[in-house]
Amino acid sequence: MMKRVLLLWLSFFIAYSLFAEGNGKYLKVLFTNDVHANIRGVKVDDINRGGFAQLSNLILSERKYSGSGPVLTVDAGDMSMGSFSQALFRSHAPELVGFSMMRYDAITLGNHDFDFGTDALALMLESAAKKTLQLGIELPAILLANLDVKSDKRLSKAFETVKVRPWTLVHRGGLKVAIVGVMGESAYHDAPDASKLNFIDPAKAIKRLLPDIMSENPDYLIVLSHGGTISKDGSSPDEILAGKVPEIDLIVSGHDHDEIHTPISIGSTLIVSSGWQGRNLGVITLLNQSLNDYRLVPVYTDSEADTVLLDYSLKVSSITDSVLISKMNLKANDSIVNLLTDIKAEPDSANPFVSKLGFLVADSYCASVRANMKELLNEPIIGIAPAGTLRFDLNNGLVRNEDIFRVLSLGEGDDYSPGHPLLVAYLYGRELKDLCELNASVASSMPDARLWFSGIKYTYSNYRLPFTRVIKVEIADASGIYQPLDPDRLYPVVAGMYSVKMLGLLKRSSFGLLSATPKDANGEPISSLKSMVLKDQDGRDVKEWIALASFLKGDYLKYSSDQEFEVLVDSRIKKEADFSVASMFVYPNKLMVTVYFALLVLLVILFYKVRQVIWRL
Ligand SMILES: [Zn+2]
């Protein structure tokens, strides 16, 4: 603590002396990204992190220690989705109002800010405008340069109300700072609703604006980019953006939840990112376009709080609880279970095919079907939890509704209650094999697409061509005994609404070689996904997270909260087969037949050519 205070003072003196001497263009930028509705803090590895009240306190002290040197506060998108407060998204815009209270200067939107659809986003922006007006405070400049909303009248109207614009020029402490906001391509493809809008390449959008921006002679050009940096090998969206637009001084990057501890340099552009959930406040100081100082300051929920924001976050919690009580008859802090061990979403380092949390979630989906659909009691049931839907880990200790919701925190029901509902649909055995193939052939390059299964066990061979690697699939029957897969049988499958919608992507990501189309019990394609939503005994939607909560509580599984919780990592894990000639010929598909046929033709041609040569000799 003492060290931090000393460091703060030291950076203040350096900054102040430079600034006081008029020794150059000094600018301090405070930044966050991907706050994901973490208004009250969250337990991360046994320490509570984030929280608007504590973040605000740090922002206030960073501003204070800057003397009269110019300070900007910005965010790079995905402010919402991730905690129960998203139930207030339309009505209260809790995150955007919070940012306004903390006097953020500029923000951009992330893909998750579009999660509830463009009408919901419009309502959120309008609510924020109304609330900030009531409070007598200003909204930050909301910047998005690469989206044309004209085709969406409702959103256009809201964008006008809150003055969403491509860029802004901030005059501060004698400096002119141009700030642009953009969303990266992979981000807008991630949000099914956002991808319907007219986004263009971020670099192209910024280049179009450059003449206007440069005519203002800004001292700095900052881009808030919800693009991503995770690969850090020059190929990530924000590194590419920096390469294409060298005029940018600083990119505050969001989307990949990346904690960047040393700024990435591409030419003279610096790229920074603070992680996610507001666990850190990013602080970068620039002097004459160069890096002067950089820190990610941890935000500890139990540290000193700004009382104004503390009152605000308590108010948000109490309104959230009243919504939860009315819609789902529960509260965020109701405790569900006492876990003696962490259950992580990340695959085991020793085995990338094992995610304890993934298996637990998929098991809970199957259990909720067995509990609520008596007609399927004697059927094999397949549970599917895509890795990308697991947003957070379960930590040891008392687990509350809020903690379980964070694991599966996306989506909402028709009544706007938080969380995606579960769907029960049917797939043919051959389509289930294609889903296993997705894991065997595609998932290593697309980790979010990896599927955690319940009720399936498969074997694959790396000696075979991609998209033809799976050589054996078994399905657990109602008593848990694995039986060979019947390719022509319809199997009931349970997964979240979003995951089922994304099944269509399978065809695209496999060049049409794999496919799975959700069907009804008669094998007919489903016209309305809503008709397939799993209902509980009272006729309410069973949500992904409710299935997990019920499973942990022991509604479906006898479980004592005093016992150490262990997830059974059973024999469903894939096995990699040794090379065998026989394994090269099972489950042939189009690609395999074509390649084998081409090889055969080549061999025949070679044989004749060799024979011709021998004859001539
Ligand atoms: Zn995010």
The pLDDT tens digits of the residues spanning 43-94 come to 998 899 999 999 999 999 999 988 778 999 999 999 999 999 999 999 999 9
**Two tokens, residue 316:** 């948000």
Which pLDDT value is given to residue 167? 98
CA of 76 to the centre of ligand 1 (A): 9
CA of 110 to the centre of ligand 1 (A): 7
pLDDT average, residue stretch 469-483: 91
CA of 275 to the centre of ligand 1 (A): 9
Which pLDDT value is given to residue 240? 97
CA of 83 to the centre of ligand 1 (A): 13
The residue extents of the domains of the chain are 25-311, 333-455+488-568, 591-616
CA of 255 to the centre of ligand 1 (A): 5
Asked if the model's pLDDT at residue 16 lies above 90, the reply is no
Asked if the model's pLDDT at residue 588 lies above 90, the reply is no
CA of 273 to the centre of ligand 1 (A): 12
Asked if the model's pLDDT at residue 19 lies above 50, the reply is no
CA 498 centroid distance within chain: 13
CA of 119 to the centre of ligand 1 (A): 20
pLDDT average, residue stretch 596-611: 78
Which pLDDT value is given to residue 577? 65
CA of 341 to the centre of ligand 1 (A): 26
CA of 168 to the centre of ligand 1 (A): 24
Rounded to whole angstroms, the Cα distance separating 361 from 575 reads: 21
CA of 458 to the centre of ligand 1 (A): 32
Cβ(390)–Cβ(450) under 8 Å? Answer: no
Residue 36 CB neighbours (<10 A): 26
Return the bridge partners of 592, or none.
none
Which pLDDT value is given to residue 556? 45
CA of 82 to the centre of ligand 1 (A): 9
**Two tokens, residue 3:** 């060290």
Which pLDDT value is given to residue 574? 60
Average pLDDT across the chain, whole number = 88
CA of 473 to the centre of ligand 1 (A): 35
* Burial letters 280-303, b for 16+ CB under 10 A, else e: bbbbbbbbebeebebbbbbbbbee
| CATH class belonging to 333-455+488-568 | alpha beta
Q: Which long-range contacts (CB under 8 A, 24 or more apart) does 331-335 make?
A: 331/401, 332/84, 332/400, 332/401, 332/402, 332/405, 333/400, 333/401, 333/402, 334/400, 334/401, 335/398, 335/399, 335/400
CA of 79 to the centre of ligand 1 (A): 8
CA of 111 to the centre of ligand 1 (A): 8
Which pLDDT value is given to residue 576? 66
CA of 39 to the centre of ligand 1 (A): 15
Rounded to whole angstroms, the Cα distance separating 93 from 97 reads: 6
3-state DSSP assignment of residue 296: strand
Rounded to whole angstroms, the Cα distance separating 277 from 266 reads: 26
CA of 93 to the centre of ligand 1 (A): 17
Cβ(168)–Cβ(143) under 8 Å? Answer: yes
Which pLDDT value is given to residue 473? 93
Rounded to whole angstroms, the Cα distance separating 530 from 15 reads: 58
CA of 78 to the centre of ligand 1 (A): 5
Residues 6+ apart with CB under 8 A from 117: 193
CA of 254 to the centre of ligand 1 (A): 7
pLDDT average, residue stretch 13-28: 61
Cβ(427)–Cβ(448) under 8 Å? Answer: no
Rounded to whole angstroms, the Cα distance separating 87 from 73 reads: 26
Nearest residue to 144 via CA among 97, 101, 196, 202: 202
Which pLDDT value is given to residue 447? 81
Banded pLDDT at 565 (limits 50, 70, 90): very low
CA of 541 to the centre of ligand 1 (A): 26
CA of 257 to the centre of ligand 1 (A): 6
CA of 258 to the centre of ligand 1 (A): 10
CA of 493 to the centre of ligand 1 (A): 28
pTM of the predicted structure, to 2 decimals: 0.85
pLDDT average, residue stretch 515-538: 91
**Two tokens, residue 256:** 């990949």
Asked if the model's pLDDT at residue 143 lies above 90, the reply is yes
CA of 23 to the centre of ligand 1 (A): 38
pLDDT average, residue stretch 424-444: 90
CA of 26 to the centre of ligand 1 (A): 30
CA of 238 to the centre of ligand 1 (A): 15
Which pLDDT value is given to residue 12? 47
CA of 560 to the centre of ligand 1 (A): 35
CA of 556 to the centre of ligand 1 (A): 33
CA of 10 to the centre of ligand 1 (A): 33
CA of 81 to the centre of ligand 1 (A): 9
**How many residues in the chain?**
617
Residue 20 CB neighbours (<10 A): 12
CA of 191 to the centre of ligand 1 (A): 11
Which pLDDT value is given to residue 507? 79
- Please give the share of the chain, as a percent, with pLDDT higher than 90: 64
Rounded to whole angstroms, the Cα distance separating 229 from 270 reads: 12
Asked if the model's pLDDT at residue 434 lies above 70, the reply is yes
Asked if the model's pLDDT at residue 420 lies above 80, the reply is yes
CA of 32 to the centre of ligand 1 (A): 11
Asked if the model's pLDDT at residue 246 lies above 80, the reply is yes
C-alpha distance from residue 164 to each of 42, 59, 139, 180 (Å): 31, 24, 11, 11
Q: Strand (E) positions, 100-146?
A: 106-107, 141-142
Q: Which of 74-83, 188-197, 207-216, 351-360 has the lowest mean pLDDT?
A: 188-197
Asked if the model's pLDDT at residue 13 lies above 60, the reply is no
CA of 112 to the centre of ligand 1 (A): 7
CA of 599 to the centre of ligand 1 (A): 46
Which pLDDT value is given to residue 607? 78
CA of 390 to the centre of ligand 1 (A): 13
Which pLDDT value is given to residue 561? 40
CA of 88 to the centre of ligand 1 (A): 18
Asked if the model's pLDDT at residue 276 lies above 60, the reply is yes
Return the bridge partners of 168, or none.
179
CA of 521 to the centre of ligand 1 (A): 36
Asked if the model's pLDDT at residue 295 lies above 50, the reply is yes
pLDDT average, residue stretch 403-410: 95
CA of 136 to the centre of ligand 1 (A): 30
Q: Strand (E) positions, 245-303?
A: 250-253, 264-266, 269-272, 280-287, 290-298
Which pLDDT value is given to residue 191? 67
CA of 387 to the centre of ligand 1 (A): 15
pLDDT in tens, 200-237: 999 999 999 999 999 999 999 999 999 999 888 888 99
Residues 6+ apart with CB under 8 A from 107: 74, 75, 76, 77, 79, 96, 99, 140, 141, 142, 143, 181, 224
CA of 182 to the centre of ligand 1 (A): 14
Rounded to whole angstroms, the Cα distance separating 430 from 447 reads: 23
* Burial letters 167-181, b for 16+ CB under 10 A, else e: bbebeebebebbbbb
Residues 6+ apart with CB under 8 A from 595: 465
* Burial letters 347-362, b for 16+ CB under 10 A, else e: beeeeebbbbbbbbbb
CA of 368 to the centre of ligand 1 (A): 29
Asked if the model's pLDDT at residue 250 lies above 90, the reply is yes
Nearest residue to 299 via CA among 490, 565, 558, 44: 44
CA dihedral sign of residues 281, 285, 290, 293:
negative
Asked if the model's pLDDT at residue 424 lies above 50, the reply is yes
Q: Parallel, antiparallel, or unpaired: how do β-strands 220-226 and 290-298 relate?
A: unpaired
Which pLDDT value is given to residue 192? 61
pLDDT average, residue stretch 547-565: 62
Q: Parallel, antiparallel, or unpaired: how do β-strands 280-287 and 26-32 relate?
A: antiparallel
- Please give the share of the chain, as a percent, with pLDDT higher than 70: 89
Q: Which of 111-120, 447-456, 473-482, 504-513 has the lowest mean pLDDT?
A: 504-513
Which pLDDT value is given to residue 21? 41
CA of 62 to the centre of ligand 1 (A): 25
The segment with the largest mean pLDDT, out of 181-190, 433-442, 536-545, is 536-545
Q: Taking each helix axis from N to C terminus, what angle separates 118-135 and 153-161, rounded to the nearest 10 degrees? A: 20
Rounded to whole angstroms, the Cα distance separating 52 from 34 reads: 13
Which pLDDT value is given to residue 46? 85
C-alpha distance from residue 535 to each of 228, 230, 460, 547 (Å): 38, 39, 36, 11
Q: What is the enclosing helix (H) or strand (E) of 399?
A: strand 397-400
Q: Provide CATH code, domain 25-311.
A: 3.60.21.10
Q: Taking each helix axis from N to C terminus, what angle separates 237-244 and 202-215, rounded to the nearest 10 degrees? A: 40
Asked if the model's pLDDT at residue 396 lies above 70, the reply is yes
**Which has more confidence, 302 or 605?**
302
Banded pLDDT at 444 (limits 50, 70, 90): confident
The segment with the largest mean pLDDT, out of 225-234, 386-395, 485-494, is 485-494
Q: What is the enclosing helix (H) or strand (E) of 133?
A: helix 118-135
3-state DSSP assignment of residue 75: strand
CA of 406 to the centre of ligand 1 (A): 13
Which pLDDT value is given to residue 575? 63
